[in-house]
């Protein structure tokens, strides 16, 4: 029986999904046993001796989690696989689970820029590296014209400053929040001060922490990250490391899966009649053997004009990209709901050439159809 010491805050859903992913890997191998360390011990460098004693006394085989007070030399002497989460710098011999924050920021920008007539800004956590990375990518993607943002403390102490900032923003405004906790705090300040969600302020978070998103009113739209799949990969690494004795310093990167739209953002209303006709046609026919040329023939404009209209609504996402996204969404549904082979799922979703389906699916979702099925059933 493999014993894993968890240094994770299991009150947050992302951490629970990571552990769920590890468990999915272990289920086919007889199961592993997990032990959790209280945050007060995990985060305090003075308590590292207690963690070391736990490893020895309980005969721990591996460690996973947010070891903020790690002493590298002591950790190496433990001689067991250690996978670190939410740590920015690389440490030789210890793989890091890290989010592709550039992709998160770009996805948020692409989402808000669809609306066209909305001012854009952001709300991050002060002095938090992953928050800064997401916002930096968001700013780069939005470009000029963004409204100055706000950096909050995660303890809610600057509630009044956030209120003043929100009340003085031009409306309507879309706010990209660095995570769902940040978004929840912002929505509560808006509601307390008479700002309507999403009519005055549209809010997008990150993580898809279902408890946080659904307990908030209005519920939070958010960027979903593939925590469970990454947990599965962590399980694979620990297992392989224990079997081979090899350690590495790889980054185990988790990507944004997509946007879960709830009540904090408006439903996209496409005012451009040509773009609306294109999207409606694709929604009706995407499972058929159609290409971009077939779609454009439905519009009495040149291909160049159609593409310009489409870009004004969808930003960098082309007609072909949106068509692929519709087909991949159908594939995701069938992969979870049925036991059909991937080839049949692809055909039923509109992919007539199965040659590049793994590459296309991975480029949009972040992993292969087989991996998606394994981690979402």
What are phi and psi for residue 218, nearest 5 degrees?
-65, 155
Question: Residue 47, Cβ neighbours under 10 Å: how many?
Answer: 16
> What is the domain count for the chain?
3
Q: Are strands 82-85 and 96-99 parallel, antiparallel or unpaired?
A: parallel
Residue 262 lies in a domain: no
Residue 136 lies in a domain: yes
pLDDT at 304: 92
pLDDT at 343: 92
pLDDT at 269: 60
Asked whether residue 171 falls in the same domain as residue 244, the answer is no
pTM of the shown model: 0.71
CB-based contact 177:206 (threshold 8 Å): yes
Q: Which domain holds residue 205?
A: 101-225
Asked whether residue 242 falls in the same domain as residue 318, the answer is no
Asked whether residue 37 falls in the same domain as residue 177, the answer is no
Asked whether residue 23 falls in the same domain as residue 89, the answer is yes
- Tell me which residue of 315, 317, 311, 310 sits closest to 281, measured CA to CA: 310
Residue 188 lies in a domain: yes
Asked whether residue 152 falls in the same domain as residue 291, the answer is no
Residue 264 lies in a domain: no
Asked whether residue 88 falls in the same domain as residue 14, the answer is yes
Asked whether residue 65 falls in the same domain as residue 105, the answer is no
Asked whether residue 197 falls in the same domain as residue 240, the answer is no
Residue with tokens 């082979």: 341
Asked whether residue 115 falls in the same domain as residue 219, the answer is yes
pLDDT at 176: 98
What sections of 174-272 are H helices per DSSP?
180-192, 210-215, 227-244
- CA 179 to chain centroid: 10
CB-based contact 220:213 (threshold 8 Å): yes
Residue 167 lies in a domain: yes
Asked whether residue 119 falls in the same domain as residue 186, the answer is yes
Residue 339 lies in a domain: yes
Q: Please give the chain's pLDDT, 377 residues, in tens.
A: 899 999 888 878 888 888 988 988 888 777 799 998 877 777 777 778 888 888 999 999 999 988 766 677 888 888 899 898 865 555 666 888 888 899 999 999 988 987 777 899 999 998 888 899 999 999 999 988 899 999 987 666 688 999 999 999 999 999 999 999 999 999 999 999 999 999 999 999 999 998 899 999 999 999 998 888 888 889 999 999 988 888 776 777 777 888 888 999 987 667 788 998 998 899 899 999 999 999 999 999 999 999 999 988 777 789 999 999 889 988 988 887 788 999 999 999 999 877 789 999 988 887 789 888 876 66
Residue 267 lies in a domain: no
Residue 268 lies in a domain: no
pLDDT at 341: 92
Task: Kindly report the CATH number assigned to the domain that includes residue 339.
Answer: 1.10.10.60
Task: Kindly report the CATH number assigned to the domain that includes residue 10.
Answer: 3.40.50.2300
Asked whether residue 190 falls in the same domain as residue 113, the answer is yes
Asked whether residue 108 falls in the same domain as residue 214, the answer is yes
pLDDT at 10: 81
């Amino acid at each position: 029986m493999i014993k894993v010491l968890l240094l994770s805050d299991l009150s947050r859903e992302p951490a629970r999904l990571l552990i769920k992913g590890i468990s999915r890997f272990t289920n086919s191998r007889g199961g592993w046993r997990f032990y959790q360390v209280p945050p007060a011990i995990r985060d305090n460098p003075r308590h590292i001796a207690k963690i070391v004693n736990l490893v020895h006394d309980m005969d721990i085989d591996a460690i996973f989690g947010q070891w903020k007070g790690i002493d590298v030399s002591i950790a190496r002497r433990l001689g067991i696989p250690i996978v670190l989460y939410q740590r920015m710098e690389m440490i030789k011999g210890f793989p890091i689970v890290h989010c592709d924050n550039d992709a998160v920021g770009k996805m948020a920008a692409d989402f808000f820029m669809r609306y066209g007539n909305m001012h854009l800004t952001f709300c991050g956590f002060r002095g938090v590296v992953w928050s800064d990375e997401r916002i930096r990518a968001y700013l780069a993607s939005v470009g000029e014209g963004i409204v100055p943002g706000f950096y909050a403390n995660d303890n809610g102490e600057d509630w009044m400053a956030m209120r003043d900032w929100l009340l003085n923003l031009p409306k309507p405004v879309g706010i990209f929040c660095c995570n769902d906790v940040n978004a929840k705090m912002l929505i509560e300040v808006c509601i307390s001060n008479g700002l309507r969600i999403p009519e005055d302020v549209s809010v997008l978070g990150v993580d898809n922490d279902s408890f946080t998103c659904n307990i908030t009113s209005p519920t939070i739209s958010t960027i979903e990250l593939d925590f469970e799949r990454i947990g599965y990969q962590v399980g694979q690494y620990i297992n392989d490391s224990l079997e081979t004795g090899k350690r590495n310093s790889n980054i185990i990167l988790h990507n944004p899966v997509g946007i879960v739209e709830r009540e904090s953002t408006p439903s996209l209303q496409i005012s451009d009649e040509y773009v609306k006709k294109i999207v409606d046609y694709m929604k009706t026919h995407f499972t058929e053997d159609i290409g971009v040329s077939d779609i454009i023939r439905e519009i009495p404009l040149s291909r160049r004009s159609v593409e310009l209209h489409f870009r004004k609504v969808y930003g960098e996402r082309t007609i072909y990209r949106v068509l692929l996204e519709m087909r991949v969404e159908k594939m995701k549904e069938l992969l979870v709901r049925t036991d059909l082979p991937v080839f049949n799922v692809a055909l039923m979703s509109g992919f007539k050439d199965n040659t590049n389906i793994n590459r296309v699916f991975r480029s949009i979702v972040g992993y292969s159809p087989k991996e998606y099925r394994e981690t979402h059933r």
